[in-house]
Amino acid sequence: MYKLLLCLRYLRTRWIALASIVSVTLGVATLIVVNSVMDGFTTQMKDRMHGILSDIVLETRSNTGIAQPNWYEERIRNRLGDSVAGVTTVVTLPAMMTFQHNGNSHTQQINLIGIDQKTYASVSDFSKYLLHPENRDQLDFILKEGGYAPDRERMQPAGWEYRRPIARYRKLVNDRVRDGRTAEEEQAAEKSRYEALQQQIQREQLQSNTDSNTDVAENQSTNADSTDPSTPLEPSTQTDATPQTDSSVASLMAGPGIVIPNKAQQVNQFDPEKEQRTGIVLGISLGSIRGREPDGTVQDFFFLRPGDDVQVTFPNAGTPPRGIDETFTVVDFYESKMSEYDSTFAFVPIEKLQHSRGMIDPRSGIGAVTSIQIKLKPGVDLNTARDALRDEFPPTHEFVEVRSWQETQGPLLAAVQLETTILNILLFMIIAVAGFGILATFFMIVVEKTRDIGILKSLGATGTGIATIFLGYGVLLGTVGAGVGLLCGLLFVWKINDIARVVEWITGREVFDPTVYYFDTIPTIIHPFMLCWVTLGAILIAVLASVLPSIRAARMHPVEALRYE
């Protein structure tokens, strides 16, 4: 009883000890904040990655891909049985995207992904990250009239609302070309140039073949700017003929680069005001730059919008592969808020890729794929399923690689994990340092209380009893320190974004730059287990630090203690 009473009294009258416990408080608060933020980051990242990536991927590096995806799919379903929630086939290619902006041509490296839009949503949260509400329900690669992310002012207008006036404007510009000449005058000029060229060709044909070829190629490229000779029809309706052969062979015969308007051609000609090319969904960073308004708010500045056309160059399935050009119309953006994906991913219909690359078996009509993605039912153990598939498709026989999503992103997750661990160790060392502070303070208090210890002993208190007082004092101080730290930490985590704002306001520097992190706010997650662990650890350190002074107090000789001045 006296132990408790004295503990409480010492706690109330010895503020110096509380000062020593402040470091414990700070340590606990920091640990909680760090762990919460790190956990928040990791969980957000994992959620997003997991959402983007399917659970397990069967991948081949072969250029021609897996020729019989159906057979593979069947084997997967047989092997995994009920635990499969969805399977989809994908063609993934490294590719290059080119687009015009402000009269300049821009080229970017992309990860071209041909997806089966009907089943792809069953293996990942892909649709959730699309901007148009209808596409979120079901993606169809068709340009919408409008309504793309209405909350993004910078993106408006988009869709047909954007494509139509732009196409009309381009047409107007093309009609009224350079030097103020009208389209008729231009065409007349072209015609005379064409005739001159014809004459020249006839003349040169008398000489060597090679000379004439280079001339023609030059001519073709100069004309390409003004008259846009790209393949005009929607690929699905077009017969299978590659543009290259068309231009290289037929141009010599029919006159290169010049579209002579006649009625039959005008019917079939591609009209960007009314038609679109094959749809492509771009990662949002491929079409925008994240920056700031003059007033400081973070905005995406779009140089591509749904409705714009982009050119994509990718390898075909031949050996050696050759580049193929295709023009796609941006139909939507994809925003997963994972910068790695947002800045490289571009999705197109899988049939288009298989078709263009020549991956379709002419006899069976089955298209090859480069990877098969599998989504497991919730609760199914990822690693078990992966091992089962590895067993089914041994790398020695099948030449396919089986990976889980965690392995795909292993290095990143491991790095975050390591960071968290090291921070935890460092901060616990800080608390341990605080422990030595407590030790010193406690020794001082024991010395200061020597007479009291003597008095208590003369009143019949046992050594254990005296030790209990100081141990209990340590527990109380530790509890108070850790408790206050717990509260502070929780408060900090709860208000972390407000605090970041205040710090920004004071220092004028951005604490959490959303242009870097792709999060609008600092994500936090508080695990109760972590709270217990941190709090108990801090109390334990405080108690351990009070053990030595307690022993010293218990061993004190009563007579000497009473005489102590």
Does position 429 interact with other proteins (CB under 8 A)? The reply is no
18 close to 442: Cβ distance less than 8 angstroms: no
In terms of CB distance, is 232 or 465 closer to other proteins?
465
What's the min distance (Å) between Cβ of 534 and other proteins? 30
Under the criterion CB under 8 A, does residue 158 sit at the interface with other proteins? no
The one-letter code for the residue type at 204 is E
Kindly write out the interface string for residues 5-44 of this chain, putting x where it contacts other proteins by CB under 8 A and - elsewhere: xx--xx--x-------------------------------
DSSP 3-state of 273: coil
How near is the Cβ of 554 to other proteins at its closest, in Å? 11
Q: Which lies closer to other proteins via its Cβ, residue 13 or residue 102?
A: 13
Helix (H) or strand (E) holding 310: strand 309-315
CB of 469 to other proteins, least distance (A): 11
| Number of amino acids touching other proteins (CB under 8 A) | 25
Closer to other proteins by CB, 87 or 461: give it: 461
Rounded distance between C-alpha atoms, residue 112 and residue 143, angstroms: 19
* CB closer to other proteins out of 212 and 550: 550
Site for other proteins contains 556 (CB under 8 A): no
Q: Give per-residue burial for 276-299: e unless 16+ CB within 10 Å, then b.
A: bbbbbbbbbbbbbebeeeeeeeeb
Residues 6+ away with beta carbon under 8 Å from 56:
373, 374, 376, 382, 385, 386, 389, 402, 403, 404, 405
Q: Does 557 bind other proteins (CB under 8 A)?
A: yes
Chain mean position to CA 236:
32
Concatenate the DSSP letters of all residues of 489-517 into one string.
HHHHHHTHHHHHHHHHHHH-S-SS-HHHH
Question: What is the closest distance, in whole angstroms, from the C-beta atom of residue 455 to other proteins in the complex?
Answer: 5
Segment 456 to 515, residues that bind other proteins, using CB under 8 A = 456-463, 465
**Least spacing, CB of residue 542 vs other proteins, in Å:** 21
Site string for other proteins, 365-404 (x = CB under 8 A): ----------------------------------------
Peptide bond before residue 165 is cis, with ω within 30 degrees of 0 = no
CB of 524 to other proteins, least distance (A): 42
- Treating both helix axes as pointing N-terminal to C-terminal, what angle do 463-494 and 2-13 enclose, rounded to 10 degrees? 50
What is the Cα–Cα distance from 141 to 551, expressed in whole angstroms?
Answer: 77
Of 469, 482, 468, 477, nearest to 534 by C-alpha is 482
Could you tell me which stretch among 241-249, 281-289, 328-336, 555-563 binds other proteins (CB under 8 A)?
A: 555-563
What are the residues binding other proteins (CB under 8 A)? 1-2, 4-6, 9-10, 13, 451-452, 454-463, 465, 557-559, 562
